[in-house]
Amino acid sequence: MSLFNGLFSFWSQDIGIDLGTANTLVYVHGKGITINEPSIVAVNQKTGKILAIGSQARAMVGRTPGYIVVTRPLVNGVVSDFEVTEQMLKYFIDKVHQDRFALLPRPRVVIGVPSGVTEVEKRAVEDATYSAGAREVYLIEEPMAAAIGSRLPVQDAVPNVIIDIGGGTTEVAVISMGGVIASRSLRIAGDKLTDDILKHMRQERNLLIGEATAESLKINLGSAYPLDEEMEGRVRGRDLVSGLPKETSVSSVELRTAMQRSIKSIVLAIKNTIEETPPELTADLVNRQIYLAGGGSLLRGLDELITHETKLSVKIVDDPLTAVARGCGFVLEHLDELAPVLLTTQTDNYFQ
């Protein structure tokens, strides 16, 4: 068996995967992040055949006949369609190895999962990754991976508060001595904020806009905290009264109102997690920072709002979009040293 492992190791490149609801990032040992593509798959429902994955599938959105469905195989950070997730993972694994002439790549994989996942959900990710061609699969909680990727001292006896706001989930965790002391996994994140804007425009403005337009509004005009200079922009959609195309103005104030309830839920999860932290560690937080990672952390004023609500200093980590993937890669490169931070499943424990 060790001979086969040696051969697989020679032909394969070990990888770390941030398997996100919106995007999948792949870290390759020795190379860094080489893939950053949407977690989207285009399926021909007549034949069941997968037509495109990632960026190619996203390009098909809104441009295909009814029998071709563009879908996301992950919902709120967990597998909702096992077979499609397996094919998507296989596509990314093969893409990593396309220049190595590996007929059967069998890499070791470290993959991030939300902190609130059940045993069944953990097994689904493991099984899909094995079926996609991995020879060894290691799971790590996304906030732990984000903290490691941000080079926080997770193994020291100090509290590290990390908030990872992705597409499907917001992960809040207090980490100390290589373990999660308190955590929350909230199924409100970037996609929910986009949906809030979409629904607001439909209900309050009688304007039907697409998901891509709502996402663009969130990025260009969205904010979580009052701005020094509020902004205005234009938005185009279909008037639900006349059925005709319409263009209108929209302000950052209006969009902030649209997202207000979801943002409050995120802030409440942060406060509740800190309240669950043991007093000795809470006292240490006064002199430390809260760290924000994930694409959602880039929402204007979110760091200011969290500072206002918690009275603690808040810092957005360097390159927040890639923090989880970088953390998975770092763990991959230091497996022996960082093995304690990895998750186990009931099946793992059964065979030990």
Which residues of the chain carry a pLDDT beneath 50?
1-10, 347, 349-352
- Ligand-binding annotation for 206, yes or no, is no
Sign of the torsion angle spanned by Cα atoms 99, 100, 104, 109: negative
Phi and psi, residue 44, nearest 5°: -85, 110
Task: Say what the pLDDT of residue 6 is.
Answer: 45
Question: Would you say 30 is a known binding-site residue?
Answer: no
Report the pLDDT value the prediction gives residue 25, as an integer from 0 to 100. 94
**Residue 295 assigned as binding residue:** yes
- 55 annotated among ligand-binding-site residues: no
Instruction: In whole angstroms, give the CA distance from residue 238 to residue 243.
Output: 6
216 has binding-site annotation: yes
The token duo for 319 is: 């390159």
Query: Could you give the 3-state DSSP secondary structure of residue 32?
Result: strand
CA distance 175 to 130: 29
- Reading the block at residue 40, the tokens are 């989207």
| Residue 167 assigned to a binding site | yes
Is 22 annotated as belonging to a binding site? yes
Alpha carbon distances (Å) from 295 to 126, 174, 238, 339: 25, 20, 29, 27
Q: Are 140 and 328 in contact (CB under 8 A)?
A: yes
Position 3 scores a pLDDT of 38
DSSP 121-155: HHHHHHHHHHHTT-SEEEEEEHHHHHHHHTT--TT
Q: Find out whether 179 is annotated in a ligand binding site.
A: no
Q: What's the pTM value of the predicted model, to 2 decimals?
A: 0.88
The partner residues of 41 in beta bridges, in order of sequence, read: 53, 71
Q: Single out the residue of 155, 5, 26 nearest to residue 96, CA to CA.
A: 26
Q: Which two tokens stand for residue 103?
A: 């007929």
Give the pLDDT score at 221: 96
Distance CA 218, CA 213 (A): 9
Per-residue pLDDT reduced to its tens digit, 171-200: 999 999 999 999 999 999 999 999 999 999
**Is 215 known to sit in a ligand binding site?**
yes
- What pLDDT sits at residue 104? 65
Q: Contact, 39 vs 74, CB < 8 A?
A: yes
23 labelled ligand-binding: yes
Ligand-binding annotation for 169, yes or no, is: yes
The rounded distance, in Å, linking the Cα atoms of 169 and 254 is 24
pLDDT tens, residue by residue, 78-130: 888 888 999 999 998 888 877 655 556 788 999 999 887 889 989 999 999 99
Instruction: Give the span between the Cα atoms of 232 and 186, in whole angstroms.
Output: 30
Q: Can you list the domains of the chain with their CATH numbers?
A: 159-188+263-317 (3.30.420.40), 190-259 (3.90.640.10)
What are the distances in angstroms from CA 70 to CA 46, 132, 279, 292? Answer: 13, 20, 48, 31
Residue 24 assigned to a binding site? no
Please give the pLDDT value at position 48. 85
Question: In whole angstroms, what is the distance from residue 284 CA to residue 348 CA?
Answer: 35
The whole-angstrom distance between residue 201's C-alpha and the CA centroid of its chain comes to 26
Amino acid, single-letter form, for residue 105: P
Question: Tell me, what's the pLDDT at 199?
Answer: 97
- The whole-number pLDDT of residue 350 equals 38
